[in-house]
């Protein structure tokens, strides 16, 4: 009876130590994933800021082109008014697209919690895949 209790206590201790080792391993994997995602997140923020500045520069260039087209339109010359109107419509459409891109970039820069939420979801998915990989392990026959 004493031997059986001793064996049960050792089995319980073994199981506890194995679970502890598994938990430590999973915590280590999560820590590594979070560190990698944090580095990626800060790199993405660094990449977004120049993109925002570049979009602002494009917007300024489009405004200059728009002003030049208006000046050409008032002049009489070899250009037809129809061709100038088509060109002006294309520039206005491009300007609208740039404004949309600029607002989306501004939203990402102003609300980094959207990027953080995406990072957390990605980490959770990676952790789920890691756990399912470990759970899918089978003893070799």
- Domain assignment of residue 116, yes or no: yes
Say whether pLDDT at 141 is over 60.
no
> Considering the domain boundaries, does residue 70 fall inside one?
yes
| pLDDT score of 120 | 75
Residue 68 domain-assigned? yes
Asked, for residue 125, whether it belongs to a domain, the answer is no
Is 65 inside a domain boundary? yes
Residue 11 lies in a domain: no
CB half-sphere exposure, 41, CA atoms < 13 A: 19
Q: Which domain holds residue 84?
A: 51-120
Give pLDDT tens digits for 80-95. Answer: 666 677 777 777 877 7
pLDDT above 60 (res 13): yes
Helices 2-74 and 81-110 meet at what angle, rounded to 10? 150
Q: Give per-residue pLDDT as tens, 33-77.
A: 777 777 777 666 666 666 777 777 777 777 777 777 777 777 766
Q: What is the mean pLDDT of the chain?
A: 76
Q: What per-residue confidence (pLDDT) applies to 139?
A: 53
Query: Which pLDDT score is estimated for 11?
Result: 92
Residue 108 covered by a domain: yes
What does the alpha-carbon distance between residue 62 and residue 98 come to, in Å, rounded to a whole number? 9
Q: What is the pTM of this model?
A: 0.39
């Amino acid at each position: 009876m004493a031997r059986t209790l001793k064996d049960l206590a050792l089995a319980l201790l073994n199981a506890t130590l194995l679970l502890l080792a598994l938990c430590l391993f999973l915590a280590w994997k999560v820590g590594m994933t979070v560190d990698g995602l944090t580095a990626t997140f800060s790199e993405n923020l660094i990449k977004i800021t120049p993109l925002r500045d570049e979009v602002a520069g494009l917007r300024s260039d489009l405004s200059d082109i728009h002003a030049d087209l208006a000046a050409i339109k008032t002049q009489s010359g070899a250009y037809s008014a129809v061709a100038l109107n088509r060109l002006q419509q294309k520039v206005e459409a491009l300007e609208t697209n740039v404004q949309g891109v600029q607002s989306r970039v501004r939203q990402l820069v102003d609300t980094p919690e959207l990027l953080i939420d995406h990072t957390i979801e990605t980490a959770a998915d990676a952790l789920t895949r890691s756990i399912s990989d470990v759970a899918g392990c089978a003893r070799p026959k």
